[in-house]
Structure 1
């Protein structure tokens, strides 16, 4: 049976790798060394600290003659700035730099919330400043309360624009936001059991929800309306545009009636009543727990997992009024998460998820200590050359993940589309970008990165292991892959070190380099190590976590 019992043993390397990959975007040998030997509960607790941003806001280095700079904190109207698409990309660069440089669950959960409350940054969120506020809202509640976020998101300026709720008025209703709120953001449909009846809600409920959401408007200048909990700019309530009639919901919500109200303060109470109604349903808590399971554990939810994992997690979520940490800490410290609850080798959780392009990029950068331009001192190179021109426009688009810009409000197919789920990251159209990533980081001069494979081996691999091609490949695989590799794979990979020669070729070349430290000897080992590590990164084993 699947078990949420806490893992009884301390983390070994295999389990530490599993936790660090699944819970953060920062994967390093140093952090692995910290986790090995810790209890799962202590390791997970270590990841739940809400660390402040290391980069407080994005910067636009263009136009070069007079940069817009820190435009998100400017008192000027958000729409007064040119290059809004570029600036939205710079916002994602800001978010990613924070995510990859902090060892925290915060950013994994923030991106999870993006998959739950989806907006597409280039598909109608408005000015880049509103998108910046939206990501900060997700970050604020990443270690907090899902239900509270589900209330706050309704007044988020980016969401108001994205799903047209700013156009939703009592005499001209717009049901877009209400429909997606039920179908995708919260309770989800369930099986359709009749015309307009989706088990968990009906078309009537969408109509009534749209009335609840009427009169919520975007605040175009970001001035004046600030949420007291998050300190973020928000939209506002136009009481004259709100439908103040009573809203009667279907039997799916026990024919619940929400009394209509007509002042700003009481309309917000009406919103609270609606959210409480939706979140009191057991199916809402189960929907979030299934999403968490697919995001953190694996896409296939077996009947056993549904009974033994999803149902009790959903109860934990309800018991804690939708605080996310009690659920996620229980899951990530459980026997089930670490494959320790059964002996079935056909149903593993470790190595069961294909890495997203975001995870692959972040893991390569952090593991191999890739130096990229400093966003505080080399803004033009970081924001324009490295991130916008390469990571954003080439790597992410080519690998099938437009960053924070899925092609529909349903989000990225990897997180919802059956039966493929995470296998959707792989196609004939996305392979090239994934496989070119390492080579580009090593060789492209226009993105200003520095990846030193020789220093990596010197600093991360035991010296006695590094000089022998067999032990070097095994040590690299032990660090890079979720599971050990066999002798055939070791023999294959080591050919990139020794070619057609014997093992002593690499041993001699490596010891020669260590002895002389001259450029010629370094280039010999660098050429071999570059080829080896590119191949090992592009191997199937590294694509899994």
Structure 2
């Protein structure tokens, strides 16, 4: 029986690694040491603080002769700036820097909301300033209320542009946003049981929803219309373009009629009525809980998990009026999350998900404390050299994850496409970029990064373990991998330390470095450690979480 009961034992290293990987983009030995010995509930709750941004806004260091700088806080019209594609990439750099420098579940949930309310930053979201507002909206509700976000997103300028709802008028309806709102964003499509009938909604419901959404317009200058809850720029309502008639929905929604309105204030009430109707359906709560399960636990939802995990989580979601944290904290502190609710060794949750390119990058950077250019003092090197030219254009694109720019409104296949789900991250086209990440961070001088494997081993592994190649490999594996490795894997990995020599070769080289700390001795062990850690990162064990 799958169980949402809280884990009764405190976290050991294995469970602490599992939680930290699944819940944050910042994976460090120090945080693991903090988690070990804590209760699962306390550890999860410690990740839920609504932390402020460490970097408040993105910066564009171009053009070099007169940088646009902090353009998102400019009073100039968003479309007046050149280099919009570059600037949208800089917005993702801003988001990533915040995500990797804070130990919080906020950014994991923000990205989860991106998979629910998808936009593509380079495929219709508009100027970079609107994309910046969109990400801040997701961040604002990452620890908050999904239903409220489902209302606010309709007036998000980026979403209005992306799915053409700014063109939706009473005499010329555009159903794009209404269709995706039901099919992908909220209740989701069920089994097709008749022509235009998808169990959870029908084509009639799409038509009626489009009428509810009519007259919602993009505010092109970002000035004047500010949401009082989020303090973010929003679109506006043109009451003359809104369909004021009553909207009657299908039997999927119990033939409910929503009263039509004709003023700005009352049209917002009409939107509220529609969203409340959609979120009153059991299928909506279960849809979000299944997405959360696949995002945090594993892609396969067994019949037992559907009954014992999804159904009660959906009830928690409804009971809390769609506040997301009660569901997430219950799940991540549960026996089921740590695979401690049965004796079946074939359905493990630990190590059951292939890391996304985002997780892989963030984990490498945070675990090995890779130094990269400071976005506040080295803007050109951070935004252009390190992030835009390498992380954004080469690494993310090559690994099959165009950052915040999935190729369709359905999102990244890893989060929705059966039966592969997260296995979609791996293909013959995406492996090379993943496997070259460590090499590039170590050797590409134009990235201005510093990955010091010697300092990492010296500072993170105990002296008794570092001098012996067997214990060193075992200690690294315990830190890096979801599960321990056996003697065959230890023997394989340690060849990168000793080559064709005996174990004492590494012991002698390491002790020589420890005694002298001179550059020539450091270079000897660094060459070996670079090779070992690169191999261990590229091993199958590190690709899983």
The TM-score, its normalising length taken from structure 1, stands at 1.00
Quote the Cα distance in structure 1 between the aligned partners of 2:91 and 2:190: 35
Superposed counterparts of 1:170-189, under 5 Å: 170-189=170-189
CA shift digits 1:175-200 (9 cap, x unpaired): 00000000000000110000000000
Deviation at 1:240, TM superposition (A): 0.2
**Deviation sequence 1:423-449 (CA, Å, 0-9, x none):** 000000000000000000000001110
CA distance in 1, matches of 2:191, 2:317: 23
Matched residue, 1:404? 404
For residues 324 and 522 of structure 1, what CA distance do their matches in structure 2 show? 49
> What is the aligned partner in structure 1 of residue 345 from structure 2?
345
SS at match of 1:483: coil
- Give the 3-state SS of the residue equivalent to 2:260 in structure 1: coil
The residue that corresponds to 1:259 in the other structure is: 259
SS of the equivalent of 1:446 reads helix
C-alpha deviations, 1:283-307, integer Å up to 9, x for none? 0000000000000000000000000
Deviations 1:242-293 (A, max 9, x none): 0001000000000000010000000000000000000000000000000000
1:466-477 equivalences under 5 Å are 466-477=466-477
Structure 2 equivalent of residue 483 of structure 1:
483
Q: Please, which runs of 5 or more residues in structure 2 have no aligned partner? A: none
Q: How does 1:281-292 map to 2 (within 5 A)?
A: 281-292=281-292
Indicate the residue corresponding to 2:531 in structure 1.
531
| Structure 1 unaligned regions, length at least 5 | none
Q: How does 1:101-120 map to 2 (within 5 A)?
A: 101-120=101-120
Secondary structure of 2:446's aligned partner: coil
Map 1:26-105; keep pairs closer than 5 Å: 26-105=26-105
- Mapping for residues 487-502 of structure 1, pairs under 5 Å: 487-502=487-502
State the 1:420 CA deviation. Answer: 0.2
Counterpart position of 2:248: 248
CA distance in 1, matches of 2:302, 2:172: 44
Tell me the residue number matched to 1:434. Answer: 434
The aligned residue for residue 11 of structure 2 is 11
Using the TM superposition, give the Cα deviation of residue 211 of structure 1 relative to its aligned residue in structure 2, in angstroms.
0.1
| Aligned equivalents of 2:499, 2:141: Cα separation in 1 | 52
User: 1:141-180 alignment to 2 at 5 Å?
Assistant: 141-180=141-180
Alignment root-mean-square deviation, CA: 0.3
Aligned to 1:296: 296
User: Which residue pairs with 2:375 in the alignment?
Assistant: 375
TM-fit CA distance, 1:343: 1.3
Q: Which residue of 2 aligns with 1:190?
A: 190
Which residue in the other structure is 1:327 paired with? Answer: 327
Give 2:314's aligned residue.
314
Deviations 1:207-248 (A, max 9, x none): 000000000000000000000000000000000000001000
Aligned to 1:277: 277
Deviation of the 1:19 alpha carbon: 0.2
CA distance in 1, matches of 2:44, 2:514: 39
Deviation at 1:517, TM superposition (A): 1.3
**C-alpha distance in 1 between matches for 2:482 and 2:344:** 17
Give, in angstroms, the shift of residue 520 of structure 1. 1.2
Secondary structure in 1 matching 2:67: coil
Structure 2: distance between partners of 1:366 and 1:518:
27
Deviations along 1:391-445, whole A, 9 cap, x unmatched?
0000000000000000000000000000000000000000000000000000000
CA distance in structure 2 between the aligned counterparts of 1:438 and 1:65, rounded to whole angstroms: 33
For 1:221, the equivalent position in structure 2 comes to 221
Q: 1 CA distance for matches of 2:517 and 2:391?
A: 33
Aligned mates of 2:261, 2:22 — CA distance in 1: 45
SS in 1 for 2:322: coil
User: What's the offset of the Cα at 1:487?
Assistant: 0.3
- The aligned residue for residue 128 of structure 1 is 128
Q: Secondary structure of 1:91's match?
A: helix
Per the normalisation by structure 2, the TM-score is 1.00
